[in-house]
Amino acid sequence: MSSNAGAEPSRRRGRVIVISGPSGTGKTSICNALLRRLPGAVWSVSATTRPPRGGEISGQSYEFISPQEFERREVADEFLETAEYVGHRYGTPRRPVQDAVDQGQYVIMEIDVQGGIQVARKVPDAICIFVLPPDLESLRARLEGRRTEAQEQISRRLAKADGEIAVARDSGCYRYFVINDVLEATIAQVEQIIHAEQSHS
| Footprint of ligand 5GP (CB under 6 A) | 23, 46, 50, 81, 83, 85, 90-92, 110-112, 114-115
**C-alpha to C-alpha distance for 123 and 125, rounded to whole angstroms:** 6
Half-sphere CA count of 10, side-chain side, radius 13 A: 20
C-beta of 58: minimal distance to ligand 5GP in Å?
13
Residue 183 has φ and ψ, to the nearest 5°, of: -55, -50
- Give 7 or 141: the residue with its C-beta nearer to ligand 5GP: 141
- Give 119 or 187: the residue with its C-beta nearer to ligand 5GP: 119
- N-to-C CA span, the chain: 28
Burial of 79 (0-12, 13-18, 19+ CB in 10 A): buried
- Give 83 or 126: the residue with its C-beta nearer to ligand 5GP: 83
- Give 39 or 156: the residue with its C-beta nearer to ligand 5GP: 156
**Positions of E strands within 5-78:** 15-20, 41-43, 46-48, 62-64
C-beta of 12: minimal distance to ligand 5GP in Å?
25
Closest-by-Cβ residue to ligand 5GP is 115
C-beta of 201: minimal distance to ligand 5GP in Å?
24
Sequence length of the chain is 201
C-beta of 103: minimal distance to ligand 5GP in Å?
21
